[in-house]
Each structure stands twice: as structure tokens, then as C-alpha cells.
């Protein structure tokens, strides 16, 4: 009986600890062009224990974020600029606000396309076992301004699900993404490629990479 009580107590304690704060959505996708710099959006964080404030810590981790981007975070008390992979800082999550407190990310894009994610682990410094991870997923294509125009679709043409690529694109890396950032295809460009399996995918993003240089295009598959 004592062992059963101990297990139940530990489970209840774990649930109680996990209720100190929560987020409504753990991920958000920012679909932008390089003209829309700085790219920014937010995720709301809620204080569930209702003291005046709750001390939290964030820790950043990058996945495929271009080195040219400058990542910033505003917790509505402090504004941290030029965040690097594995950086961390403490902040207070307040209670009794008229509106939910936001963690507002900003990315200065420096005319650089890319697709990647910035993750933030959120936790109380006194309780490292309870971590909530949030994700800001970026899909950034080339805008109309900049030294080199990369998003004019001139490097390929569409005939339904069949795509015909210009000779200078053949042999380069191609990745196709959904608007949610899911990889639908990754492979080497051929002269003609049929993406019948992506029928009804809706809006998709083509990203060509050649020695660190990118060309992007947007198409509708139906």
C-alpha cells in the first residue's frame, strides 16, 4: 500500500509542477520574403499559478538558420538582440495582465533566403525537469528588391504536375516545402520532373541550392 501511495503522490506532484505555465500553441510558421525584414511574430505564454510573477528561463537552439540572419526576442520586459545558438536568459512571466504575455521573435534577414527553425526551451530555473519547447519556423524566399533577383520562376516552368527546368538548374539540389514547412521532396534536379504524388498539395515552395546560393519559386499544385 505504501508503494502505491508513493507512486500516486509522485504523479500528482509532477502534474502540479507542470501547471505553473503553458502556451496555447507550441509552434508558429512565418512565411516571408526578404523584403519583409525584420520578420516577426509571437507565441503567447500564460502564468497558471497566479503570483505577481513567475521566473522563467529560455534557451535557444537553431536548426538550419542562415548565419546572415540576426535573431531577436522580446518578452515584453526585455529585448534581446543577436541571439546565438544555445544562448539563454531569464525573464518574468506576469499574472493578471489584460492580455497574454507574448514572446515576440524577430529576424533581420539581410536579404538572405532560407528555411529553418528557432526553438526555445522554456522552464523554471528551479525545476529543470519540466521544459516546454516552442518553435518559430521560417520560410523565407527572395523578394523583389536586392542585388540578385531569385524568385522570378524563370529557372523552371510548370505544366500541371510536370516541371521543366532550365539547363543551368540541372544537377543542383532541389527541396520542395509545404506552407507549414514540411519537406515534400528533396533530390537532384533533372530536365523534367513529375510531381504527381504532390497533387492537391496547394501552395508549395521550390528552393534550388547551388554552392550556398539559392533560387526560390512558388507554385500551386491542384
Give the domains, in start order, of the chain with CATH numbers.
19-141 (2.60.40.2030), 156-221 (no CATH)
Looking at per-residue pLDDT, the higher value among 222 and 84 belongs to 84
Q: 3-state class of 125 per DSSP?
A: coil
Is the pLDDT assigned to residue 124 strictly greater than 50?
Answer: yes
- Mean local confidence (pLDDT), 45-56: 88
Task: Report pLDDT for 19.
Answer: 62
Share of the chain above pLDDT 90, in %: 50
> What sign has the CA pseudo-torsion 8, 14, 17, 18?
negative
Integer Cα distance of 204 and 218 in angstroms: 6
Q: What is the mean pLDDT of the chain?
A: 84
Share of the chain above pLDDT 70, in %: 86
How do residues 14-37 score in pLDDT, each as one tens digit?
333 456 899 989 999 998 888 888
pTM: 0.62
Task: Report pLDDT for 6.
Answer: 40
Amino acid at each position: 500500500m505504501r508503494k502505491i501511495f508513493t507512486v500516486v503522490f509522485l504523479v500528482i506532484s509532477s502534474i502540479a509542477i507542470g501547471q505553473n505555465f503553458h502556451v496555447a500553441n507550441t509552434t508558429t510558421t512565418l512565411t516571408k520574403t526578404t523584403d519583409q525584414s525584420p520578420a516577426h511574430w509571437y507565441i503567447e505564454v500564460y502564468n497558471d499559478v497566479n503570483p505577481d510573477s513567475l521566473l522563467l528561463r529560455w534557451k535557444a537552439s537553431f536548426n538550419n538558420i542562415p548565419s546572415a540572419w540576426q535573431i531577436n526576442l522580446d518578452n515584453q520586459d526585455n529585448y534581446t538582440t543577436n541571439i546565438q545558438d544555445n544562448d539563454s536568459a531569464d525573464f518574468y512571466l506576469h499574472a493578471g495582465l489584460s492580455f497574454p504575455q507574448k514572446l515576440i521573435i524577430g529576424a533581420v534577414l539581410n536579404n538572405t533566403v532560407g528555411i529553418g527553425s528557432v526553438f526555445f526551451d522554456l522552464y523554471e530555473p528551479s525545476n529543470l525537469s519540466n521544459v516546454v519547447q516552442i518553435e518559430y519556423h521560417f520560410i523565407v524566399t527572395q523578394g523583389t528588391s536586392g542585388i540578385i533577383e531569385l524568385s522570378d520562376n524563370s529557372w523552371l516552368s510548370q505544366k500541371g504536375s510536370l516541371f521543366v527546368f532550365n539547363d543551368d538548374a540541372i544537377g543542383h539540389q532541389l527541396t520542395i516545402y509545404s506552407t507549414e514547412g514540411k519537406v515534400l521532396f528533396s533530390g537532384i534536379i533533372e530536365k523534367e520532373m513529375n510531381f504527381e504524388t504532390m497533387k492537391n498539395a496547394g501552395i508549395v515552395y521550390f528552393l534550388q541550392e547551388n554552392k550556398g546560393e539559392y533560387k526560390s519559386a512558388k507554385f500551386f499544385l491542384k
